[in-house]
Structure 1
Amino acid sequence: MSNTKQTIDRILASDKELEIELLKESGQEGNTSFTYITKTLEESPLANLKGLSGKSFDMESIVLAKLRPVFTIRDNKVIPEFNGPSSEVWKDRIMKHKTALNKAIPSIGRIEVKKNFLFDWVGTGWLVDHDIIVTNRHVAEQFSCHDEDFTFRMGYPDGLQSSNVDFLEEYGHSRDFEFQIEKVLWMSPSTNDAPDLAFLKVLPAQVNGTLPAPLELATEYGVGDIIATIGYPARDERIPDQKLVREIFGDVYDKKRLAPGEITHVEGAIVKHDCSTLGGNSGSPLILIKNGKVAGLHFAGLYKEANFAVSSLTIAQLLTSLKAGTLNKKKEYVTNLPAGGVGIAALPLMNNQLQSNQKTFEFNIPIKITVEVGTPSYTVVQTEVPDITEAVEMARKKLSGNPGVVSINEGYRFRNGWITDEKVIAIEIREKQSLEKLKQRGFNALPATFMGYETDIRNAGLYSQLEDLGINPSFYLELPKPGVYMSPPPPLKLIRCTEKMDAIFHVSPDSGWPNLKKFLENVEEQLTATIYEWDAEHISDILYEIISTGSRRLKMVTQKTGTKEAVQALKMRLGTKFEHRWASVGRGKIVPSAYHIKVASRDDKEFWLSSGNWKNSNQTSTLRVMALPISGHFLKRTGNGML
């Protein structure tokens, strides 16, 4: 049985209201098995929902999206709207407790960064005291580090990084409510025994208002309690089931959302839950809907299996120590707790799950601590993490014999196509496989961490795989590589243009579509275009209208991800009049990660160049604003204006 089915069966077994709702929509009642529900749903109105590909949604995804939907937040209040499949049961539950939830929502914000080479924002945080934000350590360490004290990292291109917390960032508008992070007060060390937690000091006095009230930490909660994570789910292309992600989150990312669920397990410092989360939810609070209090701080998730949070009791204990000035700032984690206090409990199950499952789509923080229970007080001390060279050597001894492992070396983490300074154990394998396939073949998954370091499991390149198979790869070095030239290949030749030309400069989305539409309508013989993302139907319609007339032709190069459906649909309509090639994108290809090119040329007479794509957000057909024509001159930027 798949993880999705197991999750669905567990929810249906414990939540009769949701079970009845699904059966009513399927037109059947009385049979509660997952197989029966999905079978009857296939013939219900739900099966008529269409995905981006135009095919019916997978029934598992529909059921799970209905059982754990995601609500929209507007003006810091939850509203009964979903971007994916809706649930009247969840709508009634959430709106019944909206007073408690709406009191909590304004105190939760997005952690934003400046002068960070990779990110504009890094996670979620919330007020735990009148001027203290709590978030995850792995969020805070994106812009801060721990030397003798906690400091901001060096910025790009110069100076230090800085951080703000924005308590709005909602879908549908661009307003913000930002407060500056003055400093990092405490950040747990990156060790196996420490909770994934950081405290930040926020400046309370701002021009645009005062800080919201801090959230109250819960002291009582348990398995089955209904909760809601509130945070900023981010797009994550690493998740294999992107259809499921789209159906749950409705292709709305980076904005404040509310996702209901329940607490599924409590043990020591860890609270497990099943709310729908993505990477940007790191640092989200688990809000008990019955009273608006916080049960935990979300920090990690295992895809389709479970989510993990630091318990509110642990947060309270650390906050008390912080305010008393007794919280240890050394790189080892030492906690002295009073009798009956809540610390980091022994969690071998948690450790095994996070180490044996590679399907982790948030920063993966394994936990392995030993606690003597029943003594008046206890201390947890982390042994020193070994040098990366020693860890790599040990990994070679322990893991090289695993089937499919090609090489194990010291490496650095890549995020969004850019190298970071985060050291990892890089394990090259012949081919990545799903956990289900590994189990079928009787193999164990490689660990997500090893001796205190994260592993980065990658498909080995052709050269390495040939060597591993005992084949001399020297001939491979002599083969021509795509996109690598010592000099421009003939007949490519760039001719310097010195003629005066007319130019129209405009801002999207206000005047994007009127100007693009006019450009396309002027095509006489041929349109040549490249684009990164394309899903706007009105653009596809105008292309068909123009190119289908007479002898006109269309040539395009696009990135497959982001344009596949639009390209396939237009090729069916235009046939041989549409010549198309997919951009060479990926490891070892011409473009390493993303084909961010948006340009079109018509008849060698006029070209269109844009920073935006052919999407409704950039080329909306509902707005019209006058553009500024400039003839025979270049634009020069000065300050915030144009001359």
Structure 2
Amino acid sequence: MRGGSPVATGPEQVFTEDLRAVAERVRGLLEAEVPESEEELPAREAAAEQIGRAAREERAKVLGAGVRGLEKLAAGRADDIDEDEYFGVEAIVLLEGRPAILVQGQDFASQQGDWALLDGQRPGIRQSIARVGRVEVSGHAGLDWLGTGFLVSPFAVMTNRHVAAEFAHADGRGGFVFRQGMGARIDTAEELGAPAGDGSFEFDVTEVLGIHQDVDMALLRVSPASGGGGPLPSPLALAADAPPDLVGRPVYVVGYPAADGRRNEPAAMSRIFMDVYNVKRLQPGTATAFLPDEDGAGAGAGVRAGAGFTMTHDCSTLGGNSGSPVFDLADHRVLGLHFGGRFGSANYAVPLFELTDDPLLERAEVNWV
């Protein structure tokens, strides 16, 4: 693939089924779309519906080109694929092969194709979803949320150092404090269409336990939100050892992907995703590599986890996924802490099983399993 997709893996590696079958399934979905209603709408609603129709038409056009591209790939005619078809194939890889599935009501819709297997793991995935939240801030000059965090002990949430650094700094005595006039909380219920809650899914950040100096990680003490917060759920299980077959292993990320203008053709990609960002999603994929830090997580990448090794994956993460957990789909243990990515190259995570003796994690009493 030669575009700007966040999924570095090509369609031949992403899909286990024949590419012709993928093309046929996508074509069937396009043909099955329900026609628009002929009912006359009020002016304001009619304008919104016209915009929505244009977005759907653009999406259908892009996916239709992708179907043609997949058929050419299946026939061994990769050299005949034009730019529109390449872009369409990337869109199908994102939507079908490496989807970013909306989470609503702490649950997710059943998937077709390769990811139909998520249904069999639904109870474990739902447990994971409930322990991941959006890191929200007050008092910041330009932002009201910063990234993702997840519960790793009876009282601690893990996120990235570069997320926590937006609202906390060193106090000069070996500890960390909030920046002047700022506060933070974790909201585990920021979902598309979710009504305003009673605070039962929110937790206040009461202390910065530590910002790691070598790893892109921070640990935050949390407590039930004042004025209605419920008790903290039990923490996620962090993998104390690496699976023997890590590379190629199915994984998933839970987090809050945000719009990212660095993507190629941002307007068209925006239409594909219907401009739905900043809400909780389930993002399945595979672990793609486990590399020594001195290799820079890939030749010339200049990316280091700081844990001695870097784990890479091909889940379709975007900005806002910073601080997301990377779960093993088989047992739902957290394998890694996502900290960034390069479009067309890889997404990067700190392999947490390399840090079982780390003093900061010991102080936070993380739940190693």
Q: One-letter code of the match for 2:341?
A: G
1:286 partner amino acid: V
Could you say which residue in structure 2 is the equivalent of 1:79?
Answer: 109
Partner of 1:141: 165
Match of 1:151 among 177, 181, 187: 177
- The alpha-carbon deviation at position 286 of structure 1 amounts to 0.6
In the alignment, is residue 68 of structure 1 matched against residue 108 of structure 2? no
- Which of 208, 220, 223 is equivalent to 2:242? 220
> Are residues 244 and 68 of structure 1, via their aligned partners in 2, closer, same or farther at CA, if it must alter by over 3 Å?
farther
2:2 maps to a residue whose letter is S
SS in 1 for 2:284: strand
The reply to whether residue 115 of structure 1 matches residue 139 of structure 2 is yes
Q: Is the 8 A contact 2:5 2:263 kept in 1?
A: no
Matched, 1:283 2:313: no
Determine which structure has greater relative contact order: mean sequence separation of CA pairs < 8 Å that are 6+ residues apart, divided by chain length.
2
Match of 2:54 in 1: none
Q: Does the 8 A contact of 2:176 with 2:208 survive in 1? A: yes
Of 221, 225, 230, the residue aligned with 1:209 is 230
Q: What is the distance in 2 between the residues matched to 1:123 and 1:324?
A: 20
1:89 alignment counterpart: 113
Deviation of the 1:247 alpha carbon = 5.8
Tell me, yes or no, if structure 1 residue 102 matches structure 2 residue 123. no
Local SS of the residue matching 2:332: coil
1:222-237 equivalences in 2 (<5 Å): 222-237=246-261
Q: For residues 23 and 291 of structure 1, do their structure 2 counterparts lie closer, same or farther at Cα, with a shift above 3 Å needed?
A: same
Q: Alpha-carbon deviation of 1:252?
A: 0.9
CA apart distance, 1:14: 6.3
- Correspondence for 2:216 among 184, 196, 201: 196
Distance (whole Å) between structure 1 residues aligned to residue 253 and residue 26 of structure 2: 29
Out of 71, 86, 94, which is 1:40 matched to? 71
Encode CA deviations 1:215-269: one digit per residue, 9 max, x unaligned: 1012233001111110011122233331564366442111100111100001343
Q: Deviations over 1:393-427 (max 9, x none)?
A: xxxxxxxxxxxxxxxxxxxxxxxxxxxxxxxxxxx
Counterpart Cα distance in 2 of 1:112 and 1:5: 27
Over 3 Å counting, the alpha-carbon distance change for 1:258 and 1:90 in structure 2 is farther
CA shift in 2, pair 1:6/1:104, >3 Å: closer
8 Å contact from structure 2 (residues 15, 97) kept in 1: no
Identity across matched positions, percent = 32
Give the equivalent residue in structure 1 for 2:186.
165
How much does 1:121 deviate? 0.5
Rounded to whole Å, the distance in 1 between the matches of 2:127 and 2:362 is 26
Alpha-carbon distance in 2 for matches of 1:13, 1:313: 27
Distance across 1 between alignment mates of 2:268 and 2:154: 38
Normalised to the residue count of structure 2, the TM-score between the two structures is: 0.71
Higher Rg of the two aligned structures:
1
SS in 2 for 1:279: coil
Report the Cα offset of residue 283 of structure 1: 0.4
TM-score normalised by length of structure 1: 0.42
CA distance in 2, matches of 1:11, 1:317: 39
- Residues 123 and 6 of structure 1: CA distance in aligned 2, closer, same or farther (over 3 Å): closer
2:357 is paired with a residue of what secondary structure? helix
> Do the aligned partners of 2:7 and 2:98 also contact (CA within 8 Å) in 1?
no
Cα distance change on mapping 1:203 and 1:77 into 2, 3 Å: same
- Name the CA distance, whole Å, in 2 between partners of 1:199 and 1:287: 18
Cα deviation digits, residues 174-225 of structure 1 (max 9, x gap): 3342111001111023xxxx21000000014753311122110122330011
What amino acid is the match of 1:12?
Answer: E
1:41 positional shift = 7.3
Q: Structure 2 stretches of 5 or more lacking a match? A: 28-65, 74-83, 292-307
Correspondences of 1:177-192 after superposition (within 5 Å)? 177-189=201-213
Distance 1:96 1:3, change over 3 A: same
**Residue-by-residue CA offset, 1:503-556 (whole Å, 9 max, x unaligned):** xxxxxxxxxxxxxxxxxxxxxxxxxxxxxxxxxxxxxxxxxxxxxxxxxxxxxx
Aligned to 2:152, what secondary structure does the other structure show? strand
Residue in structure 2 matched with residue 570 of structure 1 by the alignment? none
Preserved contact between residue 7 and residue 315 of structure 2 (Cα < 8 Å)? no
SS of the equivalent of 1:129 reads: coil
Letter in 2 for 1:151: V
Distance 1:6 1:324 in 2: 33
Given that 1:73 and 1:171 are in contact with CA atoms closer than 8 Å, whether structure 2 keeps it comes out as yes
Q: 1:90 offset after TM fit, Å?
A: 4.0
Aligned partner of residue 289 in structure 2, secondary structure: strand
> For the structure 1 residues 321 and 129, does the alpha-carbon distance in structure 2 shift closer, same or farther, using more than 3 Å as the test?
closer
Contact 2:15 2:114 in 1 (8 A): no
1:37-436 equivalent positions in 2, closer than 5 A? 38=69, 40=71, 58-65=87-94, 66-80=96-110, 88-148=112-172, 149-154=175-180, 160-176=181-197, 177-189=201-213, 194-204=214-224, 206=226, 207-218=228-239, 219-221=241-243, 222-243=246-267, 245-246=269-270, 249-267=273-291, 268-318=308-358, 321-323=361-363
Structure 1 residues 57 and 213: CA distance shift in structure 2, 3 A: same
Distance 1:232 1:186 in 2: 23
Cα distance change, pair 162–315 in 1 and its aligned pair in 2 (3 A): farther
Match of 1:419 in 2: none
Please report how far the alpha carbon of residue 23 of structure 1 lies from its aligned counterpart in structure 2 after TM superposition.
4.4
Does the Cα contact within 8 Å between 1:134 and 1:199 map onto a contact in 2?
yes
Change (3 A) 1:118 1:36: closer
Shift of 1:70: 1.3
Give the unaligned 5+ runs of structure 1: 28-34, 43-54, 81-86, 155-159, 326-643
Residues in 1 aligned to 2:126 and 2:288: alpha-carbon distance in whole angstroms: 24
> What's the offset of the Cα at 1:60?
2.9
SS of the residue aligned with 1:73?
strand
Q: Which whole-Å CA distance do the structure 2 matches of 1:319 and 1:204 have between them?
A: 26
Give the whole-Å Cα distance in 2 for the aligned partners of 1:310 and 1:92.
28
Secondary structure of the 1:17 match is coil
1:281 is paired with a residue whose SS is: coil
Q: How far off is 1:19 after superposition?
A: 3.6
1:217·1:293 contact (CA, 8 Å) conserved in 2? yes
Q: Which residue type is aligned with residue 109 of structure 1?
A: G
- Are 1:4 and 1:64, in contact at CA under 8 Å, matched by a contact in 2? no
Quote how far apart the aligned CAs of 1:95 are: 1.4
CA RMSD of aligned residues (A): 3.1
Residues 37/126 of structure 1: CA separation in 2 closer, same or farther (3 Å cut): same
Report if aligned partners of 1:110, 1:231 keep a CA contact under 8 Å in 2.
yes
Structure 1 SS opposite 2:130: helix
Partner of 1:12: 12
SS at match of 2:196: coil
- Partners of 2:310 and 2:155 in 1: how far apart? 25
Contact 2:68-2:85 within 8 A present in 1 as well: no
